[in-house]
A and B are shown apart, each in its own frame.
Chain A
């Protein structure tokens, strides 16, 4: 490749011959800048068009999000039935639960969303729960939890047995504990 300077020398004559002779035409000398501005303008226009095309119309209606999203979410079927609904049929469980500390916990916190089951209890049966997962979700020992919250290192504590073999899930305190097992953490 030739050095830049040689190129310039080749070009120089041509160039100055054509444009450099006088200050005849300012337009000629800023032509490249005008072209640049044109390119930028085209890019901006393209951006504005793109923006108009892809930004949803309801965006910004209430805040920095798509306004129509609220309606869409609201129209989705309800997944949770709520604590009160369960009580209508499962009175026995509710009564049990009232006796223990799990009284504060909603049924669906453990059993999962069950609106479908409420609509048609006959055909939609709730899945059997895996206590190793469900109970550990709240009771797995963790130094970040408050000290007075009942927590165990589940693997050591249960020895791999399902929690509900010893604990009644709805009323978890084991009244006769002292005499029964060695399972204390």
Chain B
């Protein structure tokens, strides 16, 4: 163990960071699939997914800023761009995704509602909607048609952007040559797929939870479809991770013995038990079961709920194992350290919990401001939101 390796520099906040951006990218990709491939079944979650992505994206930089300190300096990244720094360039990836894709798409999609609300609401809310209309109240067929086409185009751009956003997180880890646990060209791809898994399952859970809170009926067709997507992406994600593992085992380079020992000791619970068995194999099995057996709606809902929660735990464990695991062994392959998590400190557990609650508060505000539900329509997928393809 070298002296600079004894203490872990990247704490639980750095675990949260890829977890949160993963949710963003995943939720967005789910929404985009619906839009680009016109999957009517998952329509009820389209807007919810967009708002979820936005809520989590707004929180995504916070763990980094808490970790680094001096949040006011993060803006300097934009003032004096450093083109050879992967981390500095991420600021631009983030900005592009937030401003160029997500906000635009939400705005275009909600524009009609905003205009309507700016005339029916009262008080400060009215003012907010007024500002959001940018002073244009035109919601004629044609203008909405234009919005629709533009939105479609932005979604097309958005999918690679979402891949970029989270692929980039994987790239930052994957490109660290000095760390054999991270350095793998497969990293960005694995990150993208695990992002999709976590995002889809988060939206699924949020959809179930929100319909229950609003005492509405869950659209089973929609839920089944999402669960199906979840299963497919999960299978791909799992096989990629296993491929990576296989490659490592067969290649067995100089780092292998050290890493192998680590997985069998320090990471045994979090990697093998929680991530692989509990958080991956179990939900895949559960979801697979719903595909094979004919189960009642109630049973399916329960299974989806359980599988969704396990998935979230599994993906979080995966982030944990990547970030923390990568710092537990010495680059000399001769020693191991441990991570002692603090509680009420700047990078402690309490902060992490607060950071995980914050996006839900933001989401709640967003949902109040821009209701994503399609109820007042006769059927999901028509009415208030411009039905896709009506241009």
Contact = CB atoms under 8 A, between A and B. Distances in A.
B384 A142 contact: no
Interface in B260-315: none
Interface of A: 1-8, 10-11, 15-16, 18-20, 23, 28-33, 35-36, 39, 47, 50-51, 54-55, 59-60, 64, 142-144
Nearest to A19: B140
Nearest to B85: A64
B383 interface: yes
Query: What 8 A-B pairs are tightest by C-beta distance, nearest first?
Result: A3-B376, A19-B140, A32-B136, A4-B384, A7-B116, A29-B143, A20-B140, A5-B376
A5 B384 contact: yes
A30 B143 CA distance: 6
Interface residues of B, number: 37
Contacts of B80: 55, 59-60, 64
Interface in B73-89: 78-80, 82
Contacts of B137: 15
A19 B138 contact: yes
B375 interface: yes
A142 B6 CA distance: 11
Contacts of A64: 80, 82
Interface in B135-172: 135-143, 146, 150
B330 to A, nearest CB: 9
Given A7-B120, A55-B79, A15 B140 contact: yes
A19 B146 CA distance: 14
23 contacts: A1-B120, A3-B384, A4-B113, A4-B116, A5-B383, A7-B116, A10-B120, A11-B139, A15-B140, A18-B140, A19-B142, A23-B142, A29-B142, A30-B143, A31-B138, A31-B143, A32-B134, A33-B146, A33-B150, A35-B135, A47-B78, A60-B80, A142-B3
B134 A39 contact: yes
